[in-house]
Amino acid sequence: MKVDPTVCMVPGSSRAGMPQGKTESVDDTTFAPFIFIDSNCKELVLFDSNFEEKIHIFKERAEEGWTGNGRDWNSVAQAVIAEQFPQLANEFTFDSDASLLSISGRKTSLTVLGHALKIVFDDDHILRDILFRAKLPA
């Protein structure tokens, strides 16, 4: 299933994206529960306090080793990048651990990824679909 944050939602379609007319501006709620940190180091983060909301999806795949921690979300993000934005693959640095998803990069690249990850987080069907292709962290 494609996650394309550059198109608008089409009723009855499996494609999801940014509403038409949405600007590139980022505030504290743009990617919620992901947080965009716009300081000297630009980062997109997801804290362990937010993992619980989607833990039921990861538990469906627990026998394979998925737990829903920061490393698992790191794998989800990498799958989204590989499938949807391969041209941006070299623009991100991952520094995730069990309690935190942390991705740094350029603001424009993180903005695109932030919109895509919000779509994945908000839609259980898309998250399930991505997990089938994501690589389980070592």
Q: What is the DSSP string of 112-129?
A: HHHHHHHHHHH-HHHHHH
pLDDT one-digit tens code per residue, 61-90: 999 999 999 999 999 999 999 999 999 999
Q: What is residue 10's predicted lDDT score, i.e. its pLDDT?
A: 28
Residues 6, 18: Cα–Cα separation, whole Å: 6
Q: What is the pLDDT averaged over residues 25-42?
A: 84
**pLDDT beyond 60 at 2:** no
Name the residue ranges covered by the structural domains of the chain: 35-133
- Predicted local confidence at residue 86, as pLDDT: 97
Is the pTM for the entire model greater than 0.85? no
